[in-house]
């Protein structure tokens, strides 16, 4: 199926508009389903889907490897959804007001404790993010969909138009890379890495 995408892309870049229509029809429902899942709004997911394919049309010539189209498409959808969600957040208080409010409600000890917990979570997410960036694109895509977006292998296969066995294979290879990746980090970082790999392993084994 990935080869089919590559053929369609070559035709599109050769000014074959019917090929682009075919590509849109192939992925439209899956892209809309993913956007709807991410933002929880059916109608705005429709707008994001349309914006996604508009960007695909404009930027398709920048795709270096046509065989990686599905993963590239996912990245576009993901970024548009994140952008939409950010716009929905209410205006936040100034840093000074927020700190004053917290200190007024919490004891200093509890405040410090919660700050440490927040920093630990952020550190965990940052390490996992950095590790994912080191994975090959096709593995990184399925890991994000499965581990972060909580999609099943069957759902991922449908979205990316690849067999479920291929999804499982990529997930297992990604898990092995996470477990064996040698990175300069503290012992605390290594424990976080180990936890992330174990969590990924558990989610894979549930399939």
pLDDT confidence tier of residue 190, bands split at 50, 70 and 90: low
Domains of the chain: 2-88 (1.10.1740.10), 95-205 (1.10.10.10)
- Give this prediction's pTM: 0.56
- CA–CA–CA angle 75, 76, 81 (5° rounding): 95
Query: CA 168 to CA 156: how far, in whole Å?
Result: 10
Say yes or no to pLDDT of 160 above 80: yes
Residues composing the chain: 207
Q: What is the CB-side half-sphere exposure of residue 35 using CA atoms within 13 A?
A: 28
Most confident of 83-92, 111-120, 178-187: 83-92
pLDDT at 111: 46
Query: CA 135 to CA 132: how far, in whole Å?
Result: 5
Which stretches of the chain are DSSP H helices?
2-13, 17-39, 42-59, 69-88, 95-105, 108-133, 137-143, 153-160, 164-180, 187-205
More confident: 137 or 51: 51
Q: What's the Cα-to-Cα distance from 70 to each of 9, 36, 61, 106, rounded to whole Å?
A: 12, 18, 15, 48
Average pLDDT estimate for 194-198: 54
Maximum pairwise Cα distance, the chain: 66
pLDDT, mean over the chain: 75
pLDDT at 123: 61
Q: What's the Cα-to-Cα distance from 21 to each of 15, 30, 67, 71, 146, rounded to whole Å?
A: 12, 15, 18, 19, 28
Average pLDDT estimate for 81-104: 65
3-state secondary structure 35-58: HHHHHCCHHHHHHHHHHHHHHHHH
Say yes or no to pLDDT of 126 above 90: no
Q: Do residues 24 and 52 touch, judged by C-beta distance below 8 A? A: no
Among candidates 189, 161, 156, 155, which has minimal Cα distance to 174?
156
DSSP SS3 for 1: coil
Most confident of 27-36, 119-128, 196-205: 27-36
Q: What is the pLDDT of residues 7-58, one digit of tens each?
A: 999 999 999 889 999 999 999 998 998 999 889 889 999 999 999 999 999 9
pLDDT confidence tier of residue 108, bands split at 50, 70 and 90: very low
pLDDT confidence tier of residue 136, bands split at 50, 70 and 90: confident
pLDDT confidence tier of residue 84, bands split at 50, 70 and 90: very high
- CA–CA–CA angle 22, 25, 31 (5° rounding): 130
The neighbour count for residue 5, using CB atoms within 10 Å, is: 21
Query: CA 87 to CA 78: how far, in whole Å?
Result: 14
pLDDT at 92: 47
């Amino acid at each position: 199926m990935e080869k089919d995408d590559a053929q369609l892309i070559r035709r599109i870049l050769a000014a074959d508009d019917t090929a682009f229509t075919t590509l849109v029809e192939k992925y439209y429902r899956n892209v809309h389903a993913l956007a709807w899942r991410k933002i929880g709004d059916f109608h705005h997911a429709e707008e994001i889907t349309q914006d996604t394919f508009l960007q695909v049309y404009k930027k398709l010539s920048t795709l270096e490897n046509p065989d990686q189209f599905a993963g590239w498409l996912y990245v576009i959808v993901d970024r548009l959804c994140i952008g939409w969600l950010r716009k929905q957040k209410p205006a936040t208080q100034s840093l000074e007001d927020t700190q004053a409010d917290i200190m007024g409600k919490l004891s200093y000890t509890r405040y410090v404790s919660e700050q440490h917990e927040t920093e630990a979570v952020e550190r965990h997410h940052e390490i996992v993010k950095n590790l994912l960036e080191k994975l090959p694109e096709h593995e990184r895509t399925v890991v994000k969909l499965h581990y972060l977006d909580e999609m099943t292998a069957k759902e991922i296969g449908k979205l990316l138009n690849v067999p479920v066995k291929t999804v499982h294979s990529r997930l297992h290879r990604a898990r092995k890379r996470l477990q064996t990746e040698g990175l300069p980090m503290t012992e605390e970082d290594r424990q976080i890495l180990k936890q992330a790999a174990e969590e990924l392993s558990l989610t894979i084994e549930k399939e």
